[in-house]
Chains A and B, each alone.
Chain A
């Protein structure tokens, strides 16, 4: 029912007055008093009591709530008096030297935080190894002593000086000997100090003692050519390199230098000139160098000598006895072919041998002379002074000490109580010395047996110099005031010798200014600025070999026979620990071994088939008992490529008094070495007995084959010559790609990278460089076992096998193979690929990882809530999650979470809290710094202005970084190489890092 009734609201409506009609159009019939409220009177009305209390209550409540989140209080002390040249936020670089290698030390606000190679070093500017990169952490080691120690009590330097001087005087007066035991002293100034000391105390003598010695080569050169030195090897001049157990890319003499030389003949630039050297390696254990060889032949330790004799005979047509390899047909065949090739490449071949046996090295000299290496690939006239240790002298010293002939002994940078072959015998002998003085920075194995620990500076606190090669000098200068009450060893010696100049800085300067600089016409300041001084190299002479080899051959054959028993053991230096001097360095402990990917332990490496034969499984604990009676229990690692009948154990582990990180990590293998024929021998025979125990080694990679996936693409050199794109898959017809997403615009820069798989040797110095640069936490053995290492860059290492039916790369097929000895290895640095279509970016719920306009994949730690979805969705698995609060968790000791060690942190990079994802940032702080610098200098960025930490450390120049928007940049050129491929390009994530195919120079006459 419809109602026609009309209700009216007031008389105005009923009467329909004109006023009503007019006002009814508006929303409010009467105008609102806005003006009244907003005018002065309105605003100045008195606030009623209730409103005031309301506002007060709300304000108080809001402030209380807002204050609930406590902001952490960080104390910082500004410079009251700003030191000259220190500007907060701006790094200073100082030249210095590490183990004879010239470096740049980056300091921030007076703290050294990073080591870089010195670009002024010319031919010796060849990256840095992992040890150099990690060495900055040693400065901030809490395990160091804070004051000198006299009879186990901390004391003052005057007490020390009084005691030592009287002891030295006593020793001198009693007619007893004074001995300074030092690892090779290559510093001219230190040598001058020691000379001065000997002048004061004529009973004193310097005994150079290297834990891992090169006496064999030095004495062989003395024998063959009358020059008791290590030669300078020129791997860059060698077209054919044959190595018998010399890990020259890793630990042998000067790995990073040889790496630079070696890769200069194998990297993309060399390949573009259609040139690639060939490298054949005969060895027992799988070394880093062996993994890079074009052809690698496993030989037993006992076969190494005979193989060299066979090679000599084949090259010279001689008939030395003992050159039979009847048990190793492959080696026999390869030796014959290698001999032919060496003769063809006369003058461009190089044979090196890792043995420390004088006879063996004499034979190697004979071979090198026969193929004309002297004067080209070997330079005896510009000798290497990095190692000058004399095994016999040290052995003699132990005898002298046990006979009570030594009145005082000083240990400089040496620790024989740990690294001599019989530490008990050494300790007993040492106990008979009345005055024992150590210059160690901590109470280590030797220092703890000494009366005095005259704590030495870290090298970053020291003055000094180095003379690595003839005519090549570098400076050591302090980059920080001494942190503890330490005194430089040289200064202590000067004080004790009552030298006229006791200040070591003055001494070094005087030494340079009087002896070296006048001839060169350079000023001291220039030396400090440049860091290196080199005089023109002498011409390398050709040397011929003319001695009889009969005795040598007999000696080699005898040694070989002595070793020819099961099981042959090789003790070797590995990349990270070397001789164990830096065992307390957590970065090094957590650096995966380049071959086995094991961290935080040494192990018994054994060939898969041989382990099967001995009925030993991986991670079984075995008792290794040496022929000298020394025995240790170690877990087994199954190592493809290890020669049958041999095992290898790394040196440098099993330290007991080095500090929190390094104590009781692994077992000491030095006592397996023996003193034979006047030199240290690192091969022996042992027996293996399973203990029934099981010990899981902490590996960062546990799957070792690449399953035929095209993440690794390789070709032989022959194929490459025919088609430079061989193996990249480019010749195959591609698919048309469709994109769901728009392309990002990159108007300014587009930061990309190219990685040359043929240059990368896998040494891992990039990993440590990245750790130091980016404050990457060390997580410890247990966490690595749980597969939680935090490394932003890793080196993937894959094994594959070449067979008649092609390459075998799948785990299941490998398991069926009979011959697992002849393994091919490839190293692939893997880091965030900064994909243009990054799968991590789309899945993050909170936009914590986003793309930048210069081609980078950013990670905003503060925004991350830690769902880990990005890491799951990363096809490269390069994202790392902070499972714990690594930098501040007392329960979780990663050896870095104390205030002192944290001074090593790079202030440009934030440390990440727990629950946050992180990954390679492409050293964004370096990019920003580079841009800033260019801006300040009002110039555009130049190619090469910005370098990644990994790139800078790389000796092989395997990593090229730059702007792909600049067509002339080095990276653009590298990315135009036909060898370029992108890992997983088929899933269209558009990675920003191009890889160049691995090329193997195998298709010639020699094949394993």
Chain B
């Protein structure tokens, strides 16, 4: 791969001037091989307190019944399914990055795919906890699986979107886990090779005897491609099916054919936002600026503008269709969303998801780490409200006005949600400590062709078009990890 040079016009994917394979390994395995720093401990303390809150709130719910939540006869789902869809959506970026971008040969994904996939897995775990805990009788949760049984061989209802959901989520989880773990094998082997004692034994087991032979690598590449092929439809199918929980119902505001594409776009939107939220911090704290560069950040911001705009168009289309349908129930559902008692949630959603991502059209904002980080959080706040608006404002005033009701969350609702965020971060922080947060092997692939130092060598060789070189150097200005003075001479 490094046999021929990459176009000088392409921006470098690895910055720094004396990066070697050894340095990459050292840099990335730093957090895994050394004692955690203060920042990690602070983060972990808060996160695990959050996880503890989750345990308390979920146990309280299991002990007392779903009545501990604020639901009622009219609003049967609220924060639970809002949280579920939110987490499933967040997971989507991981799959998109690991699978779709791999198939499209987007090499910049190599630096971020590992963390994104880990995020996917943890987000799906958080979502799955809601699937079980929202049930009235969670101890019977396995009944939604089509298991052989003695109830006269009672099957599940294959018409029910919840059964599709169960298939979608479990498939998604297992494929994501497999894909992630397969990708981890060479890196675990790297840790194994550098570790001693018990650590070595443990990593040895988890590296599945990776030998690093050509044959192993060849099979590894083949499996990665196959899994990418399997995962790609999942990017579309999972959130499509989640959206069908709503789209196949009769409730105005849910019964909408636009939901599948709209949900998928929204999922990618929120997933990339979450990747940014996590990596912008990890990059700084773990000192990975050379691998997760401004180019990565800007690329992800561009995806956020795109998907955010798709979501915005979907919101407007819903309104148009509600008017165009002539159905008074549909029309009322949307008027009620924007002007009813939950207007604030609707406008929160519109502001966070439609208006604020448009700020990223400005290069300055797109390249500001601080602004990007804030916007990434704003987007996920907006996406939470999107699900809340869809679920609660549709249910609380549907067909029969006598049953119209308001939903007020209890402390348990809030704690389960806040706690699930704690759980997520606990898992993520543990992940940072035990596994490499960047795919070492994949990043190494880029060193000879797409790194700043390789490009520098190209320039120094002097065969490149001067104009192109100038353009390249100009593009480097945005990088906070590039020593701009090196280029002043050229």
| Residues of A that sit less than 8 Å from B by CB | 701-703, 705-709, 711, 783, 786-789, 794, 796-798, 828, 830, 839, 842-847, 863-869, 871-873, 875-877, 879-885, 891, 913-917, 983-984, 987, 989
Contacts and interface: CB of A to CB of B under 8 A. Distances in A.
Interface string B402-443: 111110000000000000000000000000000000000000
Contact of A871 (B70, B76, B137, B162): B76
B136 A881 contact: yes
A876 B163 CA distance: 24
B149 to A, nearest CB: 11
Interface in B303-326: none
Contacts of A839: 249-250
A883 B76 contact: no
Interface string B123-135: 0000000000011
Given A796-B402, A847-B156, 13 more contacts: A701-B403, A702-B406, A705-B401, A787-B74, A842-B159, A844-B162, A866-B135, A869-B162, A872-B395, A873-B250, A875-B399, A881-B66, A881-B73
A786 B70 contact: yes
A709 B162 contact: no
Contacts of B251: 872-873, 875
B141 interface: yes
Given A845-B144, A914-B136, A877 B400 contact: yes
B430 to A, nearest CB: 31
B404 A703 contact: yes
A787 B160 contact: no
Contacts of B159: 842-843
19 contacts: A702-B406, A703-B404, A706-B402, A788-B67, A843-B160, A846-B156, A846-B157, A864-B137, A865-B136, A869-B162, A872-B395, A875-B251, A877-B74, A879-B73, A881-B71, A883-B65, A915-B66, A915-B138, A983-B400
A707 B401 CA distance: 7
Contacts of B249: 839, 843, 872-873
A845 B73 contact: no
Nearest to A783: B67
Contacts of A913: 137
Nearest to A842: B159
A867 B81 CA distance: 10
B134 A867 contact: yes
A351 B445 CA distance: 98
Contacts of A987: 250, 399
Interface in B206-251: 245, 248-251
Contacts of A877: 73-74, 398-400, 403
A711 B398 CA distance: 12
A881 B67 CA distance: 9
Interface string B58-91: 0000001111001111101100000000000000
A883 B412 CA distance: 14
Contacts of A876: 399-400, 403
A630 to B, nearest CB: 36
Contacts of A796: 400, 402
Contact of A709 (B77, B401, B403): B401
Pick the most buried of B137, B143, B157, B250: most chain A CB atoms within 10 A of its CB.
B250
Contacts of A701: 402-403
Contacts of B67: 783, 788, 883-884, 914
A71 to B, nearest CB: 15
Contact of B65 (A843, A884, A984): A884
Nearest to A705: B401
B338 to A, nearest CB: 14
B72 A786 contact: yes
Pick the most buried of A708, A797, A873, A984: most chain B CB atoms within 10 A of its CB.
A873
Contacts, number: 167
Contacts of B144: 845-846, 865
Contact of A868 (B77, B163, B166): B77
Nearest to A866: B136
Interface string B241-266: 00001001111000000000000000
B137 A789 contact: no
Given A867-B134, A867-B135, A868-B76, A845 B400 contact: no
A828 B250 CA distance: 22
Pick the most buried of A703, A847, A863, A914: most chain B CB atoms within 10 A of its CB.
A847
Interface in B148-207: 151, 154-157, 159-163, 166
Contacts of A783: 67
Interface in B366-415: 395, 397-406
A842 B166 CA distance: 16
A178 B132 CA distance: 70
B332 A707 contact: yes
Interface residues of B, number: 50
A845 B65 contact: no
Nearest to B140: A865
Given A705-B401, A709-B328, A847 B64 contact: no
A883 B66 contact: yes
Contacts of A879: 73
A915 B136 contact: yes
A875 B400 CA distance: 7
Contacts of B156: 845-847
Contacts of B136: 864-868, 881-882, 914-917
B73 A989 contact: no
Nearest to B132: A865
Nearest to A828: B402
Contacts of A916: 136-137
A884 B62 CA distance: 11
B387 to A, nearest CB: 14
A787 B405 contact: yes
Contact of B72 (A703, A788, A794): A788
A211 to B, nearest CB: 33
Contacts of B70: 786
Contact of A865 (B72, B135, B397, B401): B135
Contacts of A864: 136-137
Contact of A843 (B74, B161, B402): B161
Contact of B160 (A844, A866, A884): A844
A137 B156 CA distance: 40
A881 B248 CA distance: 22
Nearest to A712: B401
Given A881-B136, A884-B65, A789 B73 contact: yes
B164 to A, nearest CB: 9
A916 B249 CA distance: 21
A872 B76 contact: yes
Given A871-B76, A915-B66, A798 B162 contact: no
B65 A915 contact: yes
A995 to B, nearest CB: 12
Nearest to A703: B404
Contacts of B162: 843-845, 867, 869
A864 B137 CA distance: 8
B58 to A, nearest CB: 14
A909 to B, nearest CB: 19
Given A845-B160, A847-B157, A884-B64, A872 B77 contact: yes
Contacts of A891: 64
Nearest to A913: B137
Nearest to B70: A786
A839 B251 CA distance: 10
A236 B443 CA distance: 92
A798 B66 contact: no
Contacts of A709: 328-329, 399, 401
Contacts of A705: 401
A703 B73 contact: no
Pick the most buried of B76, B134, B401: most chain A CB atoms within 10 A of its CB.
B401
A507 to B, nearest CB: 51
Given A796-B402, A798-B401, A875 B250 contact: yes
A876 B398 CA distance: 9
Given A845-B163, A866-B137, A872-B251, A830 B400 contact: yes
